[in-house]
Structure formats: structure tokens, C-alpha cells
Amino acid sequence: MKILSIDSSGPILSLALVNGNKVNEISFPSSKENSEKLLFEIKGFMNESDVRFNDLNGIAFGAGPGSFTGLRVACGIAYGIAYPHNIPIVGISSLEAIAAKFSRAHTISCIDARMNQIYVGAFKKAAKEFLLVDEIKVCDPDTLPNYDLHEPLIIGSAVTPFKKFLVKKYQSLNPDFDEMNYPLAAIIALQAKNRFAKRFDTTQALPIYIRNKVAQTIQERKANEPSK
């Protein structure tokens, strides 16, 4: 199976290519020029791997929440490649990808939502899945949600700017903190592997926004997922 994955939802732009059991990933600092350079980087990346668009079995992208511009760029480019080639496409929650990165039993994923707010979601690992404990929220740092978790890993781009709030809220859970930002394209590709429809489907090609109704929420996207 060959999967191209694109993520520009956060501070690190990354691309990944799954080719059978092999996973290659490259990353760059995110910038305002993402939309201009990303397609060029994708073509070069695929040429180096000797893979063409027509060879792909699926395209995955970081669907958010995250940078509005970054989400639109990744979604737009993924759509632009998938549609003319009738390639199945699927967006993966950035918060889920963060949780899956280190595969801990309990994870609280936190993304800096700007405007002094945090996107936050808690996950429990069950077999190879990461189950959302409660709905994903965007909240002020002093109104973080309560979670019944044990020794969670708290990770994501919001940890550094909002750590004092996270410590105060979740210290009773005996958490570990990870303040690093990581490329997510490879883990997004792996999470998407068993979620592709049989062909291109526009309901699978939408970004996830939590703050407003520019696009569908996670709950609305789930309602539109093709039945398995």
C-alpha cells in the first residue's frame, strides 16, 4: 500500500510516504510560504522515492484543529491531488496524531489555538486505536476540562506557553509533560491506513475547525463517514 501524507497544521510542516512496510518522512519549519513551496516539495519527495500520483492508494492529511491557513493548505493540496486521480483521501485529527505519536495509555493533547486559547483532547489507547475521552474543546487556559486519567502524557504546542495552567489543572493526575513539537505526517499516514473509502470521497476531505463553523466539526464529520 502506498500512502502520501501531508501535515501543515502546526509549527512543523511534514510529508510522509508509506510504501509497503517502509515509511519515509521529511519536515520543515512552518512558514507563510507553505502554500507556495508545499506542492514543489511533494513532487520532489515522491520523485526521490520513485512513486507517482497514480501509484498512490490513499492520501492522508492533518485535518486539525490547528493553524487555519495551514489546514486549508494541506487540505487543498491533498484534494487537488486526490480528485483528478480518484484517490481515496482522509483527514486525521491533529490531536489524535499527537496522542498516537508516543502510544501512551492516556494522553492529553494540547494545541496552541492562538487568541490565548487551547485546543485540547484526551485519549485512551485501546488496542491500536486512540479513543477520544470527551469531545475536543477550545478553551481559555483557566477553564481546562476535567479528565479521569492516570499518569497521562500531556503533549503538544500548547504545553510550553500554557504549562503553568496545565500543571495547576492536572497535577493530581501525576502527568508527564513533553514540550517538544514533532512532525506528524508519518503517524497521520499510519492512523489513516484502515480508514480510506474505496474511492475519492469529498466528505473525507474536510478540515476540522473547532472555533467556528467555517468547516465541519469532528462530530459532523463522523456522521458523514462511509459505513464500513
Q: Which of 221, 199, 211 is nearest to 82 (CA)?
A: 199
> Is 2-94+183-224 a CATH 3.30.420.40 domain?
yes
Q: Which pLDDT score is estimated for 200?
A: 86
**Which sequence spans correspond to the domains of the chain?**
2-94+183-224, 95-178
pLDDT at 168 over 60: yes
Domain 95-178 = CATH 3.30.420.40: yes
What average pLDDT is seen over the chain? 90
Instruction: Say which range, 12-21, 45-54, 157-166, 202-211, has the weakest mean pLDDT.
Output: 202-211
**pLDDT for position 219:** 56
Q: What is the pLDDT of residue 117?
A: 95
Same fold, 2-94+183-224 and 95-178: yes
CA-angle at 45, arms to 40 and 47, nearest 5°? 95
Question: What's the pLDDT tens digit per position in 91-134?
Answer: 999 999 999 999 899 999 999 999 999 999 999 999 889 999 99
**Range from 11-20, 56-65, 209-218 carrying the lowest mean pLDDT:** 209-218
What pLDDT is attached to residue 212? 56
Residue 215 in this model has a pLDDT that exceeds 60 = no
Confidence of residue 225 (pLDDT cuts 50, 70, 90): low
Place of cell 522515492: 49
Q: Is the dihedral of CA 13, 65, 60, 154 positive or negative?
A: positive
For cell 506557553, the residue is 161
Higher pLDDT, 68 or 33: 68
Model-level pTM?
A: 0.89
Give DSSP secondary structure letters for 29-60. E--TTHHHHHHHHHHHHHHHTT--GGG-SEEE
